């Protein structure tokens, strides 16, 4: 009788960097990790993605997703 309820999560976010083209690093990572728990010699950067959602009955939600990425040799 009652099924197929949504838990509120649906979809995904894909963030791309149009300014930097990945380049194979000259040397392998010194730590084996790009971002965490220990950054390697190439470092990491932060990003913010604003998300606006229009729901049922005219409801709107605005949120910001944040994260880090491994810079690699591209800067």
| Stated length of the chain | 75
Question: What does pTM read for this prediction?
Answer: 0.50
Distance of CA 46 to the CA centre of its chain: 9
Q: What ranges do the domains of the chain cover?
A: 44-75
What is the predicted pLDDT for the residue at 22? 62
pLDDT at 32 over 80: no
- Nearest partner of 67 among 52, 40, 43, 45, judged by Cα: 45
9 vs 28, higher pLDDT:
28
CA distance linking residue 42 with residue 34, whole number of Å: 8
Are the beta carbons of 71 and 23 closer than 8 angstroms?
A: no
């Amino acid at each position: 009788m009652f099924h197929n309820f949504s838990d509120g999560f649906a979809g995904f976010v894909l963030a791309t960097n149009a300014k930097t083209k990945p380049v194979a690093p000259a040397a392998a990572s010194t730590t084996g990790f790009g971002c965490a728990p220990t950054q390697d010699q190439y470092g990491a950067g932060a990003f913010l993605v604003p998300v606006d959602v229009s729901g049922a009955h005219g409801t709107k939600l605005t949120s910001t997703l944040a994260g880090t990425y491994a810079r690699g040799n591209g800067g």
